[in-house]
């Protein structure tokens, strides 16, 4: 019997189908041989903190750039700009490296993209970029999730060979909704229940409903791994594995949070068709231009 | 002209009326001469933390008692029991010292009521008692407020001569919705806008809408005083002034929070008619039995 010439890509991380459970991650976390000292524990913890990735002057320049973008009247009509319904404020701007030459330049710097190359052991490209502005006085947080679960299901990312870099433009305190991670949870892939509805991304950017781990699984992970919070002054940054379990509380303080969020994927991990979704998400959320960042 | 025999009580803390602004508190915070070392900074900060007010064994006994009360089928129909609508779980039980002899006994102990007497410089009675159970996985927090603003407006408490003691029955982490205070904010009385609707307490126990400070005022207070979080193991306790600005974030972690909450008022600060409310709240929320605790 002749074999089919079509290569069938095996789904090694099943999710959003009956019986999707938790499983041990089968891919490495670190694919290269990082020389940056802060990356020494990345394979074990699934994240690393960089205390002063940007200088104060750079924070000031980039903050002004973000403010400029959020105040651009034309951009408010752009699909890439997410407006919070209740306040009518800009909350996120996607594909920000295409809207701001300043941020495009930043992403290419070796102290930024180089970190991703060290961890992923290959050339990298930008899977997603955005800036987030979360005001105080009650801004909603994000419930627990693994980014890779979404990127795998909805974007067709084959393996968790991607990292995210969150660069703080404001101070992160323990009490203003700063990111929480479960250290070591990246070694478990938590398959989630529920099928992905069409155009799920429109809803999920505001509030996550599908792709949510069970309370039972979150309890198990939190008891095993505990919870760490990313706190630090503006200019500090958190690099984290695509599969780490993370979330954030709401922020009732008067101290807003703003950050630049960059997702680097390995060029050896190009997207295919979604593994559990009707159609790929728009390219401003999940790029299909796999040209290496130089 | 003969003077009226009726003593007109002047409202020294106007709120919930046109032009209610912020003012300097005119009453002392500490009315006695506390000897307990942890109370040395109470007048300045408006709060004090007690690391191991209860032993581990006492925490276990009292936690079992709270669980017993929340599982009592008859109590679910009691007005004093607050059920969270979305989860159908017991969230608070008011007047818990009348429902549990164990907790009644605890409130009378010198290490508990004695702290209130030291601060308030007089005999004290229980203005309010409750146990709270806040599950994880998204339990809502409480927005910023001063308790005294509510007790003054809705219960007729003349002066901020009351303290609250929150005794933790579970561990308080920085990330599971533990109480935030603005240290020193108790020296400012923040009058709030808006009239009190009838039966406001039914709504306000779930979510605070009236008696809410403006964002402008909260920003000013937070910049001046900063924010401190009450963290610590089960058995630790926070004693705080009735007028301190406090609130809590939501709790998306799997770690629930449970506490015993006791409000002591000075017997020299008996309630009168509400200063800005149509009728006094029920006595299980604001006691009118001013018998000193012995």
- Answer yes or no: is A293 within a domain: no
- How many domains does chain B fold into? 1
Q: Does A227 touch chain B (CB under 8 A)?
A: yes
Residue A198 has pLDDT above 90, yes or no: no
CA distance A129 to A286: 9
Structure tokens given for B68: 């017993």
- Answer yes or no: is B18 within a domain: no
Q: Which domain holds residue A196?
A: 44-266
Confidence band, pLDDT 50/70/90 cuts, at residue B18: confident
Residue A5 has pLDDT above 60, yes or no: no
Structure tokens given for B284: 């299980």
* Cα Rg of chain B (Å, integer): 18
Tens digit of each residue's pLDDT (9 = 90 or more) over B214-243: 999 999 999 999 999 999 999 999 999 999
- Please give the model's pTM, rounded to 2 decimal places: 0.90
Q: Does A174 touch chain B (CB under 8 A)?
A: yes
- Answer yes or no: is A231 within a domain: yes
CA distance B115 to B109: 10
Q: Are B113 and B128 in contact (CB under 8 A)?
A: no
* Nearest Cβ partner for B252 among A138, A143, A219: A143
Residue A263 has pLDDT above 60, yes or no: yes
Crossing angle for the helix pair A101-108 and A56-71, nearest 10 degrees?
140
Q: How many CB pairs under 8 A join A and B?
A: 65
* Nearest Cβ partner for B227 among A247, A250, A253: A253
Residues of B in contact with A213 (CB under 8 A): none
Structure tokens given for A55: 């200088």
* Nearest Cβ partner for A250 among B136, B250, B255: B250
Q: Does A134 touch chain B (CB under 8 A)?
A: no
Q: Does A228 touch chain B (CB under 8 A)?
A: no
Q: Are A225 and A47 in contact (CB under 8 A)?
A: no
In terms of Cβ atoms closer than 10 Å to its own Cβ (0-12, 13-18, 19+), residue A210 is buried
- Answer yes or no: is A94 within a domain: yes
Q: Cβ A141–B252 below 8 Å, yes or no?
A: yes
Nearest to A286 by CA among A294, A11, A269: A269
Neighbours of B284 (CB within 10 A): 18
Tens digit of each residue's pLDDT (9 = 90 or more) over A143-197: 999 999 999 999 999 999 999 999 999 999 999 999 999 999 999 999 998 777 7
- Answer yes or no: is B6 within a domain: no
CA distance B232 to B38: 15
- Answer yes or no: is B36 within a domain: no
Strand residue runs (E) in chain B: 22-24, 47-50, 81-84, 89-94, 124-134, 162-168, 180-181, 188-190, 228-229, 237-241, 246-247, 257-266
Residues of B in contact with A251 (CB under 8 A): 249
Q: Cβ B227–A137 below 8 Å, yes or no?
A: no
Q: Cβ A173–B227 below 8 Å, yes or no?
A: yes
- Answer yes or no: is A79 within a domain: yes
List phi, psi (to 5°) of A286. Answer: -140, 95
Nearest to A145 by CA among A111, A186, A104, A203: A186
Residues of A in contact with B229 (CB under 8 A): 174-175
Percentage of chain B surpassing pLDDT 90?
82
Q: Provide the CATH number for the domain around residue B190.
A: 2.60.120.620
Q: Does A251 touch chain B (CB under 8 A)?
A: yes
Q: What is the pLDDT of residue B188?
A: 98
Residues of B in contact with A250 (CB under 8 A): 141, 249-250
Strand residue runs (E) in chain A: 22-24, 47-50, 81-84, 89-94, 124-134, 162-168, 180-181, 188-190, 228-229, 237-241, 246-247, 257-266
Q: Cβ A215–B247 below 8 Å, yes or no?
A: no
ipTM of the complex: 0.87
pLDDT, greater one: B17 or A28: A28
Separation in Å, CA of B117 to nearest CA in chain A: 32
Residue B3 has pLDDT above 50, yes or no: no
CA distance A100 to A260: 12
**Lowest-confidence segment of A37-41, A60-64, A198-202, B200-204 by average pLDDT:** B200-204
Confidence band, pLDDT 50/70/90 cuts, at residue A277: confident
- Answer yes or no: is B288 within a domain: no
Residue B142 has pLDDT above 50, yes or no: yes
Q: Cβ A249–B254 below 8 Å, yes or no?
A: no
Q: Does A144 touch chain B (CB under 8 A)?
A: yes
In DSSP terms, which residues pair with B180 in a beta bridge?
Answer: B229, B247
């Amino acid at each position: 019997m002749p074999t089919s010439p079509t290569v069938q890509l095996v789904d090694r991380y099943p999710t959003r189908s009956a019986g999707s459970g938790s499983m041990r991650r089968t891919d490495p976390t670190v694919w290269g041989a990082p020389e940056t000292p802060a990356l020494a524990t990345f394979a074990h913890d699934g994240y690393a903190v960089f205390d002063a990735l940007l200088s104060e002057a750079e924070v000031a320049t980039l903050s002004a750039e973000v403010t400029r973008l959020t105040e651009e009247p034309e951009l408010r009509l752009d699909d890439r700009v997410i407006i919070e319904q209740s306040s009518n404020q800009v909350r996120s701007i996607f594909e920000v490296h295409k809207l701001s030459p300043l941020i495009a330049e930043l992403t290419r710097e070796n102290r930024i993209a180089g970190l991703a190359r060290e961890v992923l052991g290959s050339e990298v490209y930008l899977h997603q970029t955005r800036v987030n502005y979360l005001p105080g006085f009650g801004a909603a947080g994000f419930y627990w999730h693994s980014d890779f679960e979404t990127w795998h299901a909805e974007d067709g990312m084959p393996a968790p060979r991607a990292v995210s870099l969150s660069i703080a433009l404001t101070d992160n305190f323990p009490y203003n909704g700063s990111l929480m991670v479960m250290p070591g949870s990246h070694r478990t892939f938590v398959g989630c229940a529920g099928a992905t509805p069409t155009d799920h991304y429109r809803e999920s950017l505001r509030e996550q409903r599908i792709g949510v781990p069970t309370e039972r699984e979150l309890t198990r992970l939190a008891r095993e791994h505990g919870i760490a919070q990313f706190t630090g002054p503006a200019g500090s940054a958190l690099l984290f594995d695509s599969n780490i379990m993370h979330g954030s509380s709401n922020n009732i303080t008067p101290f807003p949070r703003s950050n630049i969020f960059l997702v680097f994927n390995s060029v050896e991990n190009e997207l295919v068709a979604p593994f559990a979704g009707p159609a790929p998400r728009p390219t401003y959320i999940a790029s299909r231009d796999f040209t290496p960042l130089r």
